């Protein structure tokens, strides 16, 4: 028997650590303050793009889209930090690796979808004036 087995021989741990009942597993479970901060940031990051679109504050649609995408990316980060409690140390870094893999898959899917929609739009537009056809 090992030294640990001798030390725990008289104590029935049933395969649990001594800290398991207190849910002290090294993960951040969040607090009321962190959830409230995340909620307030999420509301702000939603209201500003909504206001930009509804008021037409920026005349150039391309700039409006770029700003909305930037706010969306920031909001994703806020959700990951304040609600999903993701950081580089949780679960031995596997959470971050899973996020990076998911991010790569999402970028590939979005880029492919936009590429297909663009080419369908360019190549499949109906001809408006049939008299000028050869």
Domain ranges of the chain: 26-85, 92-124
Average pLDDT value for the chain: 79
- Residue 123: pLDDT band (50, 70, 90) is confident
Sign of the alpha-carbon dihedral angle for 78, 81, 83, 84: positive
pLDDT tens across 50-63, in order? 999 999 999 999 99
pTM of the model: 0.58
Higher pLDDT, 92 or 103: 103
Most distant pair of Cα atoms in the chain: their distance: 96
pLDDT tens across 15-26, in order? 444 444 445 555
d(CA 84, CA 103): 15
Residue 56: C-alpha distances to residues 9, 22, 45, 70, 101 (Å):
72, 52, 17, 17, 36
């Amino acid at each position: 028997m090992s030294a640990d087995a001798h030390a725990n021989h008289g104590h029935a741990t049933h395969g649990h650590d001594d800290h398991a009942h207190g849910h002290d597993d090294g993960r951040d479970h969040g607090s009321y303050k962190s959830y409230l901060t995340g909620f307030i940031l999420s509301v702000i990051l939603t209201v500003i793009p909504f206001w930009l679109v509804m008021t037409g504050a920026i005349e150039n649609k391309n700039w409006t889209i770029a700003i909305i995408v930037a706010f969306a990316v920031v909001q994703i980060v806020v959700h990951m930090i304040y609600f999903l409690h993701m950081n580089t140390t949780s679960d031995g870094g596997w959470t971050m690796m899973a996020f990076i893999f998911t991010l790569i898959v999402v970028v590939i899917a979005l880029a492919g979808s936009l590429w297909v929609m663009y080419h369908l739009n360019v190549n499949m537009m109906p001809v408006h004036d049939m008299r000028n056809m050869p």
